[in-house]
Chain A
Amino acid sequence: MKLVQIGRPSATFALPFKHRAVGGKVLITNTEGNFLLLTDDEFKAFAEGTPAKGSELYTRLAERNFVRGAENQEQMVARLRARKGFLSYGPNLHIVVVTLRCNETCVYCHASRANMDAVHTDMTKETAERTVDKILETTNPNVTLEFQGGEPLVAFPIVQHILEYALEKNKKVGKQLEFTMVSNLSLMDEDKLRYLVENKVQICTSIDGPAHLHDKQRKLPKLSAHQAATHWIRRINEEYARIGLDPNLYHVEALLTTTRETLPLWKDVVDTYVGLGCKALFLRPVDPFGFADRSGPKVEYPRREYLEFYRSAVDYMLELNKQGVQILERFAAIFLTKILGGEDPNFLDIRNPCGAGIGQVAYNYDGSLFTCDEGRMLHEMGDSTFLIGDVDTSYRDLMGHETVRALALASNLEAQPDCVNCTYQPYCGVCPVHNHKTQGTLFGRMRESTLCAVHKGIQDYLFEKIGAGDPEIVSILQKWTTVRDRTHFLQSCAL
C-alpha cells in the first residue's frame, strides 16, 4: 500500500471524518454516512485544507458536509434521523419456535433440533396464545411473525392456531401483520400449501447450493433433501403466479449457509439459486450457534477464504446482472442501502444499536423469551444469558430488562474500540451474542472478531466497485438498494 504524504494537516478545514485506503483511492466518511472516494492528491489537499472555495473538489466535499463552515445542518439532521428512525419503535420481528422437532439433520444446525419423537418440544395452544398476546403488545405498528423451528411444518396445527388467533386478536389491536415461515419444505403437501397461500404466509427455505452439497449437509431419511426443497420451491412459485402475483417480486426466498465445502462452489451456488427463480442470495457465513459449534472444525474456515468466495460469487452475480439476470446479494444490498440510499433497511443484525430485544424477540416453544433467535440458540446449548423472561413477563419489563439495555449499549458502535474510528461505522453493526459466544464478552474485540472481518471485507469490496466507476456496475448496485415491498403479504386490519 502506498502512503499519502501529508504536509501539514489542517485543524480547521475538515469536519470530523474517518478514512481508509480502498482500491487505490482514499475513502472518507462522516457521521451522517456521506462518503467520497478521493485520489491521493485530492485526499492530501483535503487533509491540508487547501481546496479553493468554488473549486470542483471543494464543492464536492462541501456538498457532502466534509467542510467546516460550509455544512448544511438541516441536511445533517435529516440524514441522521433517516438512519436512526428505527429507534422510535419496539420489536418488529417476532420469531416463534413452534417446535424443536425436525425431520432433517444438518451438519451446522443452528436451531439445535430435537428428534421427531420429542413431542414435548411442541408449543401448546395456551402458550401459543400468550405468545401472540405478547407480540401484539409491541410499540411497533408493523409486526412480522416468523414461524420457525425445528421444522414448523411438524407442528402445523400450532402454526394454524397462532395465525388464526393473531388475525382475530389483531382486529382489536390494528397492527400491520406479516407472516413468514422458515421451512425445509420436505413435509409440505397441497393442503398445507393452499392454507399458507390463502393466508398470505411468505415461505422461506434453505438451499445450500447444488444437490450434492445440499444433500451432504442436510440429511433426510430416505429422501433427497434438495429434491424435496426444490420441488416445493417450484410448486409454490407456480401457485403465486396462478393467483396473479408478479414472479419478480413474489417467489420463495432461500437461505444459504456457507460451509467450508461451499467455498470452491461459488459459481454452482449462484447458478442453483438463479435456476430456482430466486432473486436474492444471502451469502451468510456459518456462525457459532447450534450444532455449528460442535461441528465447527468440519464446517469452519478462515474468513480470508470466505471473502475470496464472496468476491468471486458477487463478481459473477454482477456479470449475470449485466446479461439481464436479476439476482442480488443480500449483505451487499443491506450495506448499499445505507451507503448509496442513505437509509437504514432495519436489518437487525447490522444495525447500530442492533435489534436485540428492541428490534426482535424470539419466543421459544415453552414460552421463554430471548433477545433474539441467536440468544435462544445459545439457551438450547446450555447458556441462558439472553433469556429475558417468559410470556407472562410484562412487555415493559421485557423491554427494560438489563440484558436488553446491555445489548443496546454493547452494540452501539460509539462505544466500541475500533468501530469508533472505523470508516465503515455509519453502515455497520456488531453482534453482542456472537461476541459473547466467541470471546466471552458482550463488547467483544473487533480485531479478533470474524464478524468484523466479514463486514469490513464486504464493505471494502463494495467501495472498490463503486470507486472503479464502471457506470453499469454502479447502476446495478444502485438497483440492489431499491427492493420493492411485498405488499400482498401485509395484512392490515382497520380498527
Chain B
Amino acid sequence: MTAATLPQDLVETDVADGTVRLRVDAQLYPLEAVYAAAYVFIDRCYVFLDREGERLRVSLSPKDGALDEAALRDVVGEFTNELLSCAWRNQIARDNRATLEAVTAQALAGARGAPTLAELEAFDFSEETFDDPLGIAMSWEEKYKKRERSEAERSDQRRPPWAGAGERGGRAVIELRFHRGLYDGNAIDAALKVFAEHARFEQRVDDEHFVVAVSADEDERVVARELANYALGLTIRSAKTGGVA
C-alpha cells in the first residue's frame, strides 16, 4: 500500500502545521511495536502518541520542515512499514528468543574471551538486572545515540501539533498533553529536569493526561517538541527495562 492510498480515516495531514496523524488499531499492533517504530522516527520527526478510544494516534512532524501533502504522506507511509516490521519482529524475537540468546551469547563470549581476575573482582553483580542480560528485548536505538540534529533542525520554529493552547498572564503557552496510559510519569519528570534550564513548566494531571504547560523565552516550540520526544524516549526505555534510570 502506498502512502497515497492509505485510508482517509486512518491518516490525516495538516499541511499548515507540517504534521501527519495516523490512527493505529491497538488490537493489531502491540504497544511495544508502536514504541519501537516511534523510536526509529524520533531523529527525523517530532513524534507524539495519544489515545483515541480503541485506537492510538501517532503524530509525526518532520524535523526537516517537509510541508507538502505528498511529503507528509511519504513519512506516514514509511512509518506504517516500520510499524508492521516492528510488530512482526517483536513476535519473532519472542519466538526465537532461545536461539537468539544462544548465538549472541556465544558470539560475545567468543570475542571477549575469559575475564581477567581483576575484572571479576571489580564486577558489581548488583549493577544489572538479570531479566535480560543480553538486552535481547531492548532496542538499541532506544538506548543509544540517535543522530545529532543539525542547526537547521534546531532552529525549527513550528508549533507542536499535539499541544493544546493554554494561556498565562494574557500570553499563549504551549500545553503538552501526555496520555497517562502511554507515557510514564517518571519519564516526564525526568525529562522536565533535563529541560529545566531551557524553559519553565507547570504541571497538572487530568483524567487521562499529564499536562505540562511550557513557557520559554526563546524557541518555545522547539523546546516543547524536544521535551516531548525526550519523554517518549525515556518512556520507551523504562517500558523495556522496568524503570527510568
Chain A residues within CB distance 8 Å of chain B? 84, 87-91, 139, 353, 357-358, 383-385, 395-396, 399-400, 402-406, 408-410, 412, 414-417, 420, 440-443, 445, 447-448
Contacts and interface: CB of A to CB of B under 8 A. Distances in A.
B147 interface: yes
B92 A448 contact: no
Contacts of B112: 90, 139, 395-396, 399-400
Nearest to A447: B81
B27 to A, nearest CB: 20
Contact of B113 (A90, A357, A416): A90
B40 A441 contact: yes
Contacts of B96: 414-415, 420
Nearest to B96: A414
13 contacts: A87-B106, A358-B107, A358-B108, A358-B111, A399-B111, A405-B104, A405-B134, A408-B107, A409-B134, A412-B104, A414-B100, A415-B89, A415-B96
Interface residues of B, number: 35
Interface of B: 40-41, 43-44, 81-82, 85, 88-89, 92-93, 96, 99-100, 103-104, 106-108, 110-113, 115-116, 119, 134-136, 140-141, 143-145, 147
Contacts of B92: 414-417, 420
Nearest to A432: B140
A280 B81 CA distance: 39
B10 to A, nearest CB: 20
Contacts of A402: 135, 140, 143-144
A404 B108 CA distance: 9
Given A409-B104, A443-B89, A445-B82, A403 B111 contact: no
A384 B118 CA distance: 31
A448 B41 CA distance: 17
B113 A384 contact: no
Given A417-B89, A441-B141, A443-B85, A89 B100 contact: no
A448 B81 contact: yes
A247 B131 CA distance: 56
Q: Is the interface of B mostly helix, strand, loop or mixed?
A: helix
A399 B141 CA distance: 19
Nearest to A396: B112
B243 to A, nearest CB: 18
B40 A357 contact: no
Given A402-B135, A403-B140, A412-B100, A89 B89 contact: no
A445 B85 contact: yes
Contacts of B134: 405, 409
Contact of A139 (B40, B44, B93, B111): B111
Given A84-B103, A441-B141, A383 B147 contact: yes
Contacts of A408: 103-104, 107-108
Contacts of B143: 402
A409 B141 contact: no
Contacts of B119: 396
B107 A87 contact: yes
Nearest to A444: B85
A87 B85 contact: no
B25 to A, nearest CB: 19
B144 A406 contact: yes
Given A358-B108, A415-B89, A396 B113 contact: yes
A412 B111 contact: no
Counting chain A CB atoms within 10 Å of each CB, which of B116, B119, B140 scores highest?
B140
Contact of A412 (B44, B85, B103, B141): B103
A384 B106 CA distance: 27
Counting chain A CB atoms within 10 Å of each CB, which of B99, B112, B145 scores highest?
B112
A447 B96 CA distance: 21
A395 to B, nearest CB: 8
Contact of B111 (A84, A91, A440, A448): A91
A295 to B, nearest CB: 21
Nearest to B99: A414
A147 B165 CA distance: 60
Contacts of A415: 89, 92-93, 96, 100
A421 to B, nearest CB: 9
A358 B145 CA distance: 20
Nearest to B138: A406
A244 to B, nearest CB: 38
Given A383-B147, A443-B85, A88 B103 contact: no
- List 4 A-B pairs, minimum CB-CB distance, nearest first: A406-B140, A90-B111, A139-B113, A417-B88
Contact of A405 (B41, B135, B147): B135
Contacts of A395: 112-113
Contacts of B41: 440
Contacts of A403: 140, 144
B103 A414 contact: yes
A440 B43 contact: yes
B110 A87 contact: yes
Given A395-B113, A396-B119, A405-B140, 19 more contacts: A87-B107, A89-B111, A91-B111, A358-B107, A358-B110, A385-B144, A396-B113, A404-B108, A409-B100, A412-B100, A412-B103, A414-B103, A415-B89, A415-B96, A440-B40, A440-B43, A441-B82, A442-B140, A442-B141
Contacts of B82: 441, 445
B85 to A, nearest CB: 5
B85 A417 contact: yes
A385 B107 CA distance: 21
B103 A353 contact: yes
Counting chain A CB atoms within 10 Å of each CB, which of B81, B106, B116, B141 scores highest?
B141
A228 to B, nearest CB: 39
Nearest to A383: B147
Nearest to B115: A396
Given A87-B110, A90-B112, A445 B81 contact: yes
Contacts of A404: 108, 111
Contacts of A88: 106, 110
A62 B115 CA distance: 44
B77 to A, nearest CB: 11
